[in-house]
């Protein structure tokens, strides 16, 4: 937890303050869908990072925005390299739950849309990327097994291991208060801005940081 707070909260705040001090034109925070109704430390600390940039935008000449991603195929922590490794070792391929679904996009799509979001930013927005329909993780595992020349549950078993602490069956893209306002690009939506108080957010960040690092 300390590492997540140090990186996602304190680290974001430090870079935000530098951007403000040196009057950077725009600042794009890379966020993720796990910030919506977070059930994990990763999601919660990333949501705090979003709150930092939204409140700072109101008092800075820098345009602070955030972009929410789903899962980026082939990125660090992506499930595909894990499945490929498990298949190469002869299985089993481990899937959390047969009903688990996730949004996916390629690295190329993610980079292109991230740059576009920075270009169209006016300040304070939460950009939500249109990642199409969610994919069942088990279907992804089955496709990879077959593409590797094997048959699921014949040559390579699929093992369901259950939800881990803080893990959801599906990821959400919007908080209830946000609601999508408009589509600013073919694959970019803008969530309604939530009214947040800068001093309250900073006070909560200091309190959280103090509880973790001053004990």
Sequential pLDDT tens for the chain (215 residues): 788 888 899 999 999 999 999 999 989 999 988 888 888 888 899 999 999 999 999 899 999 999 988 777 777 667 888 999 999 999 899 999 999 988 888 888 888 888 888 888 888 888 887 777 888 999 999 999 999 999 998 999 999 999 888 777 877 666 555 555 565 666 788 876 677 888 888 888 888 776 655 43
**pLDDT at 178 (0 to 100):** 54
State how far the Cα of 195 lies from the Cα of 152, in Å rounded to an integer: 50
Instruction: Give SS3 for 164.
Output: coil
95, 141 Cβ separation under 8 angstroms: yes
44, 51 Cβ separation under 8 angstroms: no
State how far the Cα of 140 lies from the Cα of 99, in Å rounded to an integer: 12
State how far the Cα of 122 lies from the Cα of 157, in Å rounded to an integer: 50
Element (H or E) spanning 204, and its range?
Answer: helix 198-213
Sign of CA dihedral 127, 133, 134, 139: negative
**What architecture (CATH level 2) is domain 2-213?**
3-Layer(aba) Sandwich (3.40)
**pLDDT at 176 (0 to 100):** 54
Catalytic status, residue 192 = no
- Give the start-to-end residue ranges of the domains of the chain: 2-213
pTM to 2 decimal places: 0.79
Task: Out of 3, 34, 116, 133, pick the active-site residue.
Answer: 34
Output phi, psi for 28, to 5 deg: -115, 115
Residue in 104, 117, 122 with CA at minimum distance from that of residue 25: 122
Q: What is the CA radius of gyration of the chain?
A: 19
Q: Which stretches within 89-197 are classed as H helix?
A: 107-120, 137-147
Tell me, rounded to whole angstroms, the distance of Cα 77 from its chain centroid: 12
Instruction: Give SS3 for 170.
Output: coil
Q: Which residues pair with 135 in a beta bridge?
A: 102
């Amino acid at each position: 937890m300390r590492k997540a707070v140090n990186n996602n909260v304190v680290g974001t705040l430090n870079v935000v303050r530098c951007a403000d001090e040196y009057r950077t034109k725009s600042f794009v925070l890379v966020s993720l869908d796990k910030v919506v109704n977070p059930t994990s430390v990763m999601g919660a600390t990333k949501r705090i990072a979003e709150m930092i940039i939204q409140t700072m935008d109101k008092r800075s000449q820098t345009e602070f925005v955030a972009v929410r991603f789903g899962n980026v195929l082939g990125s660090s922590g992506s499930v595909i390299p894990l499945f490929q490794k498990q298949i190469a070792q002869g299985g089993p391929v481990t899937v959390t739950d047969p009903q688990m679904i996730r949004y996916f996009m390629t690295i190329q799509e993610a980079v292109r849309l991230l740059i576009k979001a920075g270009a169209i930013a006016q300040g304070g927005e939460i950009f939500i990327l249109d990642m199409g329909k969610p994919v069942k993780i088990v279907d992804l595992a089955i496709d990879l097994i077959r593409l590797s020349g094997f048959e699921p549950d014949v040559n390579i078993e699929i093992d369901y291991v259950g939800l881990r602490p803080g893990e959801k069956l599906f990821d959400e893209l919007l908080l209830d208060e946000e609601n999508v306002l408009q589509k600013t690009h073919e694959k970019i939506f803008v969530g309604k801005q939530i009214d947040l108080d800068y001093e309250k957010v900073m006070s909560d960040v200091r309190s959280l940081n103090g509880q973790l690092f001053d004990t």
